Every structure is written in structure tokens, then in C-alpha cells.
Amino acid sequence: MKVLSNTGKGSNISHVTVALSNPFSAALQVTKVTSTVTSFGIPLGSIEQDVNFEAKPHTTSQSPVLNLDMNFDPAALFTVTRALAVEAGLDVEPLDQIVQLGGIQYLQISGDNTNSNRKRQASVFK
């Protein structure tokens, strides 16, 4: 992934490439890439682009550069950040305080308790 100089300013587009592993004995001609990038069920971006590249038999081929339309919604980004921090066993209290201060609400992650309301300590930043 390459974040462009105008990503997040002029547009939400970054550049990515994807690898396609062709398990078949025939070549594949790829004419369109449609993909949604998610983490913990939260959409982080999407690709919807016409392309033209060949995936040779029994090989892994790289796509040409694709446009990833990134999701910069603060609630989505903070929710994924928190879920990753919980998964890594990190203290999320400072993040929770920042999110609360900014008036942002975490999004629901189904089947997961990473967004549960926790007792907030007023002295977390002392």
C-alpha cells in the first residue's frame, strides 16, 4: 500500500497491489477487481476497478496498481485500533479517554466484547 500525498485531503484513495494465486492449469485473464477490506467486521476500504492482467497457471501474479478508497471515518478507525490493542493485550484506557473526549462512539463488533463500557479513571493521564 502506498499512501499518496493527497490521500485524506483531496481524496481517500491510496495505491495497492494484490497477489492472485492461480491454482488452475489454465491462465486466467483478470478484467475487474472488486474487493472490500474489513477488520473485525468494520469496513476499512474498497476496490472497484477495471483491469487487464494475466495470471499464469500455477503461479502467483501481481496486479497492476489499484485504487483503494479508504474509510477515514473516525469511529471505524478508533474501533479497529481499540480491537487490535485489546487483541494485543494492551491497555486501552488512554484510547478510551481520547475517544470520549472527542465525542466519538465506538462501533459495535458482533460477538466481541472489545467495545464494552469499562469503568473510566479520571486520573488515567496523570
pLDDT in tens, 13-50: 999 998 999 999 999 999 999 999 999 999 999 999 99
CB 75 within 8 A of CB 36: no
Among the listed residues 124, 44, 95, 101, the one whose alpha carbon sits nearest the alpha carbon of residue 115: 95
Give the global pTM: 0.76
Q: What is the C-alpha separation between 118 and 100, in angstroms, rounded?
A: 12
Grid cell locating 5: 500525498
Grid cell locating 111: 460477538
